[in-house]
């Protein structure tokens, strides 16, 4: 009897990506892609968001190129997501990765960014 070939579940990118953006007390801006736990810092809000968009694109494309699909989506710790409760999100232009588009939602945090330490 021939054993049927088991197909591995196909990888799917998230259709929506969530960014949190906040200004630190030193005037620098921090942006965090919560779906991939990637963070960028820059001098302006526009620059920090552009840097994070580029970081997400390069990170995902590198993971796809190297067949690391099980490790690409790596959500930030729950406390990072909880900070967005009650915040208003805006829709940004999508990030194109190969022939897939991911919508981007940005939530501007009204309080200073605080570093979150995750323990295993």
Q: Supply the CATH number for residue 37's domain.
A: 3.30.160
Residue 87 placed within a domain: yes
Q: What's the predicted TM-score (pTM) here?
A: 0.74
Has residue 37 been placed in a domain?
yes
Per-residue confidence in pLDDT tens, the chain, 120 aa: 454 444 445 667 778 889 999 999 999 999 999 999 999 999 999 999 999 999 999 999 999 889 888 889 999 999 999 999 988 888 888 888 876 666 677 777 665 544 444 433
How many structural domains is the chain composed of? 1
Which residues, at least 6 apart from 92, have a Cβ–Cβ distance to it below 8 Å? 19, 49, 103, 104, 105, 106
Enumerate the H helices of the chain as residue ranges. 45-65, 69-72, 78-82
- With respect to residue 40, please indicate whether it lies within any of the assigned structural domains: yes
Could you tell me if residue 115 is inside a domain?
A: no
Of 91, 116, 87, 112, whose CA–CA distance to 101 is shortest? 91
Q: Does the residue 6 lie in any domain?
A: no
64 belongs to a structural domain: yes
Residue 103: give the domain boundaries.
Answer: 16-108
């Amino acid at each position: 009897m021939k054993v049927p070939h088991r197909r591995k579940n196909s990888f799917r990118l998230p259709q929506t990506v969530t960014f949190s953006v906040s200004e630190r007390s030193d005037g620098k801006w921090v942006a965090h892609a919560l779906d991939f736990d990637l963070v960028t810092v820059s001098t302006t809000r526009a620059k920090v968001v552009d840097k994070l968009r580029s970081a997400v694109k390069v990170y995902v494309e590198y993971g796809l190129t190297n067949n690391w699909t099980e490790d690409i989506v790596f959500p930030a710790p729950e406390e990072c997501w909880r900070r967005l409760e009650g915040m208003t999100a805006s829709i940004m232009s999508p990030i194109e990765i190969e022939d897939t588009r991911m919508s981007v939602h940005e939530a501007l945090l009204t309080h200073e960014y605080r570093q979150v330490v995750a323990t295993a």
